Amino acid sequence: MQGTIRHALIFIYNFYEYKNSAGFTPTTNYSSETFLPNLTACESGDTDRQRFLLELFHGWTQFAHENNIPYCIFYGTLVGYVQHGNLISYDGDVDVLMLQSDTARLVPFAETNFSATYYLKLQPQWSTVGYENRSYFYDQDINFVAPNARFKRRGSYKFVDIYPGNTYHPDDPKNSTYRGKTLTIYDRSYYWLPLPIEWIFPLKPCLLTGIKTWCPAKPDKIVAKIYGSESVNQSNYECVNNTWVRALF
């Protein structure tokens, strides 16, 4: 049994690795101005925020590709892709997912000047699984515990949140029901939620507001599982009198 599990994990990892290194050409010479009309500007400052997030996300995709960092879009960013193929108009950040074990690839870039434009904040306890087992490090500008890392642009407070996915269930790591068969993530309340591994892998190239990125294999199923089936087609917020208000559905 252990040999079968190990083989499954190696297969998952290798397929994940292969899909992120072969035949993927990232978006170059990206102009956010071309795609901003795809987003809704409701409140004052929306267009500036949206422009910044698009350029930040494009910067992340370039960084990840150049440094062979495997990831896929997830959470709210995946909701926007499923609903209309764009960043959510009212969103304040970008969410991506990577394997917990792959976070080690980010270590060489943390607190280093790898870019004049971007920098990476790594949660010092990233290898400790579970946000409740981690601490804040405000003196290091680490004001997050659930994401493993944040990708940021210098001089800004906006970020790409990098969340972990585990190939086992952290509350029951030896249980073969989960190991190699699921990817366990945080749900909306930061409880562990196992998803079928085939919902995630193989990753597929996709376009988010004109930026080529990586999506999980079955994004609709993931969004419905995390946020409810209505979230596949309906937005949580709507623009009313130049204000984003919670939608009733």
Structural domain for 197, as ranges: 2-238
* CA geometry: angle 77, 82, 87, nearest 5 deg: 35
Residues, the chain: 249
Whole-model pTM: value is: 0.92
pLDDT band with cut points at 50, 70 and 90 for residue 21:
low
Least confident of 48-52, 111-115, 158-162, 222-226: 111-115
Residue 247 located in a structural domain: no
Residue 249 located in a structural domain: no
Collapsing DSSP to helix, strand or coil, 228 comes out as coil
CA distances from 213 to 9, 59, 116, 201, 203 (A): 24, 11, 23, 15, 10
Residue 244 located in a structural domain: no
- Are 239 and 42 in contact, with CB atoms under 8 Å apart? yes
223/82 Cα distance (integer angstroms): 8
Residue 248 located in a structural domain: no
For the segment 193-211, what is each residue's pLDDT rounded down to a tens digit? 999 999 999 999 999 999 9
- Are 49 and 92 in contact, with CB atoms under 8 Å apart? yes
For the segment 28-43, what is each residue's pLDDT rounded down to a tens digit? 999 999 999 999 999 9
Count structural domains, the chain: 1
pLDDT band with cut points at 50, 70 and 90 for residue 90:
very high
Residue 246 located in a structural domain: no
Q: Residue 237 is encoded by which pair of tokens? A: 């917020």
Residue 223 located in a structural domain: yes
Residue 7 located in a structural domain: yes
Give the contacts of 195 (CB within 8 A, at least 6 positions apart).
182, 183, 184, 185, 222, 225
Residue 210 located in a structural domain: yes
